[in-house]
A and B are shown apart, each in its own frame.
Chain A
Amino acid sequence: MVRILTAALLAAALASVSAAEEAPARYSYVFGTDVSYVDTSGHPSWVAGSAGKLRYDADSDGLTVSRVFADYRLRIVDTLDLHVAAEAYDDDIGDALDFTQAYLEWRPLNLSPTRYRLRAGAFYPRLSLENRGPAWTSPYTLSSSAINTWIGEEIRVFGAELLVSRRPAELGGAHSFSVFGSAFRHNDPAGGLIAWKGWSVHDRQTRIDDVLPLPPLPQIQPDGWFWRQDPVFIPFQENDGDAGWYAGAEWQYRERLLLRGLRYDNRADPTDVHNGQYAWYTEFDALGLQAGLPGDVGLVAQWLAGETVMGPVIDGAHVVDNAFSSWFVLLTKAVGQQRFSARYERFDVTEDDDVYLDENAEDGRALTVTWLVGITDLVNVAAEWLEIKSYRPAWAYNDLATTRTERQLTLSVQLRFRN
């Protein structure tokens, strides 16, 4: 997959070089990096193969390159774009550089009030109200909310999405209504991470060929209940050949209010094991709201709740049956070149099965406070304080305290080059 995409990107880059002289804006790119000083206190990180919720821990914090990314759009014709995003991370997961998204977007201009957009390829579902910058960055905070961190970890669409929107002239152009739907494959293991690792708050997105570590849980050991599971986790693979879907609707009132709702269902066969990965039958509902408040304060809020099941049915219930939910409220205010944001969130996983040796429940909350300063068009500096308090009984499997407040201070210099 990576080779194909790399070839496509190189071809696109060559095409854009040859096309650059004849017409303006044949392509656009943002190339960025976040260089950070990180100080943490918490459990050893899940990224290093343990079970802590933070991306960094005592071994990996300090001075680090949090991410290097490229977001590139090639205008094949006026209404057809190739959009790719790639990330490089300084950790032991996957290739040094890999794609997070790669898709074609077709925006026909049919000179009618109804507008259509079709995306095909690998991309994020239309869900996050935080990650709206290039390469899925957030303009508000460094780390994403628990909801969008999870989307970044486990959810990706390998398929197509159609969006139909309309802004009725009778309403003065103030209202915009959209519906969207998608069919996709290659997301059958999604759900495994929220059960076995739980919610997290960080800024690492799973790239297309990433193989993630799993916490060293007893149930996935060779003598455990789920011995067929490899000790690593691959969220983007097809197990059973059945397509999943999501569909949703959106209403926007000027630049004051946006409401979005969607339902996701990966239609995975929870009894299937392929390539050392269980399929997890995962469905969820999500709601998003953003609004301008008095004092030019911006509000972003999302809610997500769903269920994931895995394994055969025994005594009328799947072996693993976990419900999960989370919500956050983010307030943000821009003052000149500075932006202040604060986010509070809650998250939980509840056990709806009776398998006592696979305890996946958790309950937690997080607070994130971020200060961003734009120094020039090229350079931002940021400071972020993050505190997650969780109760997770499964931490006892690995001799970690089951209640823990994990903290992370991040000081970051962000460089953004663009054409």
Chain B
Amino acid sequence: MTGRAVYHRVAAPGLAGLAGSLLVLFAAFAEAQGISVTVTDSNGMPVPEVAVFIDSPGTGSRAAPGTRAVMDQVNERFVPHVLVVQTGTAVDFPNSDIVAHHVYSFSHPNHFKLPMYKGNAHPPVSFEESGIVVLGCNIHDNMLAYIVVVDTPMFAMTDADGTARFTMPVESARVSIWSPRIRDPEERLTVELAEARLQQPVAFRLEKSLRPPHRDGTEALTWSEY
């Protein structure tokens, strides 16, 4: 029941190898100066699957043309439950189920609807405005997922240790977190980092208890009318 978002960066064929080599060098250079962000709940326990994104001057707000991401539909659930993309990213919505789905979002200004379909029937949807996009299926009321559209290439999901690591060197940073499970007020979910503090780990300690994880349901029962 777990899924993975796959990102395809499209580059001119001749440049791909060079770009890859540069990326490796770059990563090695940045390792020492990366930003580490950890999210813990009100009991001090790490919180996985939180979207973390860093706004910083000069990183570029729009994704490179051709940037793609995938929001799949498997066993009448969206996979992943939370997907973070940069503005301008084209998101594919393949349907891996044997039943048809009817995907839509009413989140302004990124609202859209896809005609009902099976398989990989539609061209991807580009998200041009930052914000939270709540996804639903008009046939299966229980299907719910989120796309977090951000104006920065610096984004990640926290791992099992509640940590996300960023290797791109920046001079200043505004670090934000988001998850549908978090109930703390929005102003507590962003910190500004000046240059002097960039080397220190960033810790978000949530005050309010978390909502249960979305997939905390039972597989033993049927939840939709046929």
Contacts and interface: CB of A to CB of B under 8 A. Distances in A.
Contacts of B26: none
Contacts of A109: 102, 104, 113, 138
A418 interface: yes
A78 B221 contact: no
Interface stretch (A219-227, A251-259, A363-371, A385-393): A251-259
A48 to B, nearest CB: 31
B223 A255 contact: yes
A107 B101 CA distance: 13
Contacts of B138: 79, 107, 109, 115
A137 B16 CA distance: 54
A133 B226 contact: yes
Interface in B80-122: 98-100, 102, 104, 106, 111, 113, 115-119, 121
Interface in A101-150: 107, 109, 111-113, 115, 126, 132-134, 139
A78 B217 contact: no
Contact of B218 (A75, A167, A298): A298
Interface in A152-174: 165, 167, 169, 172-174
A332 B221 contact: yes
Interface stretch (A22-30, A263-271, A277-285, A406-414): A22-30
Interface in A290-344: 290-293, 296-298, 300, 332-334
Nearest to B113: A109
Contacts of B197: none
B212 A254 contact: yes
Interface string B141-152: 110100000000
B119 A24 contact: yes
A172 B211 contact: yes
Most chain B beta-carbon neighbours within 10 Å: one of A23, A169, A172, A377: A172
Contacts of B216: 254, 256
B98 to A, nearest CB: 7
B220 A254 contact: no
A23 B144 CA distance: 25
Contact of B224 (A24, A107, A132, A332): A132
A60 interface: no
Given A28-B99, A71-B226, A78 B115 contact: yes
B222 A24 contact: no
Contacts of A126: 225
Interface in B174-226: 180-181, 183, 211-212, 214, 216-226
A75 B222 CA distance: 23
Interface residues of B, number: 37
B142 A255 contact: yes
A176 B115 CA distance: 24
A132 B226 contact: yes
Interface in A55-91: 71, 75, 78-79
Nearest to A298: B220
B214 A169 contact: no
B134 interface: yes
A78 B116 contact: yes
Given A24-B121, A109-B113, A134-B226, A173 B221 contact: no
A354 B85 CA distance: 73
B123 to A, nearest CB: 14
B27 interface: no
Given A172-B180, A298-B220, A132 B115 contact: no
Contacts of B117: 23-25
A253 B139 CA distance: 18
A122 to B, nearest CB: 16
Contact of B106 (A71, A113, A258): A113
Contacts of B111: 111
Contacts of A133: 222, 226
A355 to B, nearest CB: 41
B139 A107 contact: yes
Contacts of B115: 23, 78
Interface in B125-143: 134, 138-139, 141-142
A75 B220 contact: no
Nearest to B183: A172
Most chain B beta-carbon neighbours within 10 Å: one of A132, A176, A258, A300: A132
Nearest to B116: A78
Contacts of B118: 24-25
B71 to A, nearest CB: 16
Nearest to A139: B222
B224 A297 contact: no
A415 to B, nearest CB: 16
B220 A25 contact: no
Contact of B220 (A79, A111, A115, A292): A292
A254 B99 CA distance: 21
Nearest to B106: A111
Contacts of B98: 377, 418
B104 A111 contact: yes
A374 B224 CA distance: 20
Nearest to B179: A172
B138 to A, nearest CB: 5
A254 B214 contact: yes
11 contacts: A23-B115, A24-B119, A79-B138, A111-B111, A255-B223, A292-B218, A292-B221, A296-B220, A297-B218, A333-B220, A334-B220
A-B CB proximity, top 10 nearest? A255-B217, A292-B218, A298-B220, A298-B221, A25-B100, A111-B106, A25-B118, A132-B222, A172-B211, A24-B121
